[in-house]
Chain A
Amino acid sequence: MSLTNRKSISPLSDNWYTNIISMRYLTSEEVTNLELKANQIRQSIIEMLVAAGSGHTAGPLGMADILTLLYFKVLQHDPKNPHWSERDRLVLSHGHVCPVLYATLAHAGYFPVEELLTLRKFGSRLQGHPHRVALPGLETSSGPLGSGLSQAIGMALAERMDNPYSAKYIYCLTGDGELNEGQIWEAALQAGKEKLHNLIVIVDRNGIQIDGYTKDVMPLEPLAEKFEAFNFDVQEVDGHNMRALNDAIHKAQAVYGQPSLIIAHTIASKGVDVFERDFRWHGNPPGKGPEDRVPKDKQAEVALEKLRTLAGIIAKEDIT
């Protein structure tokens, strides 16, 4: 997959129209490639969590498809020049899912994949929660929940001040449990007020948080209606369907006069069926998760096997 460079898409070039079309739609081959990339990223997540001996499993596995699509198709960015001023910005608000961001950045070429195994270790650039200053490619430090949306709003506002016709987008990824935080709703008021068309929020709607299911801990529904009432354009999509996600993001880019929010319905721990949908995998790495389906000492091995065989559909030797 080649990097799309905004500067190359000029109406003056002969194939600008083809370029734009090819940017927007996913061919079958692209979908397959993205899904395989997401699978590799999930394997990296398992490996890094096992090496760290702590960290979050459910959220990172659940968001692997979204991050893959963003970094390998949607975002205007340059892994070799992380500070490129014309890049889109991606603010990860729920910092605890950072293993998926780190793995995606590494696979995209920001830093060596081997460095992923330093996650959470002393001296590592891959802090337990993201530290912007430590690692090029991170747009902010996060961990304490609810602050990312405000930061994304600040970026979108600043960009619009400088260039009202900017083609730069500010993406903000949030968890669903995170939406309990009051600051989210302060920010939602601000985003609606400012009509920030260049702001695209993607909510990881996996239905779990540390203490249980979101519907039990602090019900969020009707969620879409809540954000619509704050003047967001709201879409709901399957967060594991590359085409649906891609279409939703491009529709969000086309919205003018209001910010966009995509509720991406995801499956917690997606890709490892024996971990899926179980809130007890929120904050535990393989090896320290619930034992009723897989004993602790087999959890890492089973997870990697499930991923390498696409949950048993293919023989593992078919995938390198």
Chain B
Amino acid sequence: MLASHLDKNFDTKEMQSIPSRNGYGEGLLEAAKRDEKIVALAADLTESTRTLAFAEAFPKRFVQVGITEQNMASVASGMAAMGKIPFIASYAMFSPGRNWEQIRTTIAYNDSNVKIIGAHAGVSVGPDGATHQAIEDIALMRVVPNIIVIAPADVHEARKATLAAAKHSGPVYIRVGRSNTPVVTTDESPFEIGKGEVMFTANEDAERKVGIIVTGTLLFNALKAAKDLREEGIEVTVLHMPTIKPIDKEALLTLANSHAGIVTVEEHQRIGGLGGAVAEYLSEAHPTKVRRIGVDDQFGQSGEPDELIEHYGMGVDAIKEAVKQI
């Protein structure tokens, strides 16, 4: 069963589709109205990272750094040292892609209260092609100590993640997408840093159940796969895991204990992302059969978001197939 707090228009013609990056823009503006310590920086991508509304509302708290992502990370660190709460936004390919070491040393090692927003994450960036499709960013951020890594599912969750990051003291990385993404959650859906949330519950009485763990904008595909599989007589639980680090170990153990195996789903390389995090933890704590859906050690290419998701094996059919293989 779909969780009751999810959007009632799920998988209908009325279902909305909105870029998750919009949620960053909304959350930033909302957080900034409550807390004047919040400042925002952008590197010549103010509009497309959705920082523009903040920049217009609070021009004195906005810093345009031009195309200098390395500089941006460290300027933010300096501002945080003076008590500000800086949000830095660019495309994930450039931040944390290009400025990884500045993030590691001047933000994470320094314990700077900086929030890093990586927009245009995933192959669903589309026509811009592989150079602009960040599918390594979760791995890059996950290996750095002291950073929280979040991949929100849709516009609402991106907004909530931004608000939560503003309140959290310490570095946070949030990845958001460029293209329209099904709006699955609602204002009522719970979001807490570090907490997984079951979004589709398998039939309790089923003899054999498979768990899907999904992060980010593929939540719709995972839920749709679960719904379809039920019609085929296969029972699936979908655990949505917006926070990849720290991973919700309790939720992982609960799922692994009660299910025959697990399929992880993310718009990222199969190496080093959610699938890696799940496999690393469960292989030690509760050895479980795990199949990982994601990009298989390749670069992306130009195309429409949906056809790229299909091509790289992250579509609904691919998820269903992986569940059947468990």
Contact = CB atoms under 8 A, between A and B. Distances in A.
Interface of A: 89, 91, 131-133, 139-144, 146-148, 150-159, 161-162, 182-183, 186-187, 189-190, 193
A144 B101 contact: yes
B105 A161 contact: no
Q: Nearest 3 CB-CB pairs, A to B?
A: A154-B78, A150-B74, A158-B82
Interface stretch (B65-73, B256-264, B277-285): B65-73
Contact of A133 (B61, B80, B84, B110): B110
Nearest to B61: A161
Given A154-B82, A155-B82, A183-B102, A190 B71 contact: yes
Interface in B223-274: none
A157 B70 contact: no
B79 A155 contact: yes
B45 interface: no
A147 B66 contact: no
B105 A154 contact: no
Contacts of A156: 78
A159 to B, nearest CB: 6
A183 B78 contact: no
A156 B82 CA distance: 9
Contacts of B71: 150, 153, 183, 186-187, 189-190
Nearest to A142: B105
27 contacts: A131-B109, A132-B109, A133-B110, A133-B111, A140-B81, A140-B110, A144-B102, A144-B105, A150-B71, A150-B72, A150-B75, A150-B77, A150-B106, A151-B106, A154-B77, A154-B80, A154-B82, A154-B86, A155-B82, A157-B75, A157-B79, A161-B61, A182-B70, A183-B68, A183-B70, A186-B68, A189-B71
SS of A interface (majority)? helix
A141 B105 contact: yes
A154 B72 CA distance: 9
Contacts of A155: 78-79, 81-82
Contact of B75 (A89, A140, A142, A190): A190
A141 B104 CA distance: 10
A161 B301 CA distance: 43
Given A147-B70, A189-B68, 8 more contacts: A140-B81, A154-B74, A154-B81, A157-B63, A182-B70, A186-B65, A187-B71, A189-B71
Nearest to A156: B78
A222 to B, nearest CB: 23
Contacts of B75: 150-151, 153-154, 157, 187, 190
Contact of B84 (A144, A150, A158): A158
A143 B74 CA distance: 13
Contacts of B39: 158, 161
B81 A183 contact: no
B60 A158 contact: no
B65 A151 contact: no
Nearest to A193: B66
B82 A141 contact: no
A135 B63 CA distance: 30
Nearest to B70: A183
Contact of A132 (B60, B66, B84, B110): B110
B81 A190 contact: no
Contacts of A162: 82
A183 B82 contact: no
B: contact size bracket: 20 to 34
B81 to A, nearest CB: 6
Contacts of A159: 82
B105 A143 contact: yes
Contacts of B77: 140, 150-151, 154
Interface string B72-106: 11111111111110100000000000000110011
B79 A140 contact: no
A141 B106 contact: yes
B283 to A, nearest CB: 31
Interface string B29-69: 00000000001000000000000000000001101011010
A67 to B, nearest CB: 20
A151 B81 contact: yes
Given A141-B105, A141-B109, A161-B39, A190 B78 contact: no
Nearest to B104: A144
Contacts of B63: 157
Contact of A147 (B84, B86, B106): B106
A156 B106 CA distance: 16
Nearest to B78: A154
Nearest to A172: B78
Nearest to A148: B74
Contacts of A132: 109-111
A145 B242 CA distance: 34
Nearest to B84: A158
A132 B81 CA distance: 11
B110 A141 contact: yes
B111 A151 contact: no
Contact of A139 (B61, B81, B101): B81
Contacts of B102: 144, 147, 150, 183
A155 B77 CA distance: 8
Contacts of A150: 70-75, 77-78, 102, 106
Contacts of B111: 132-133
Contacts of A190: 65-66, 68, 71, 75
Contacts of A186: 65-66, 68, 70-71
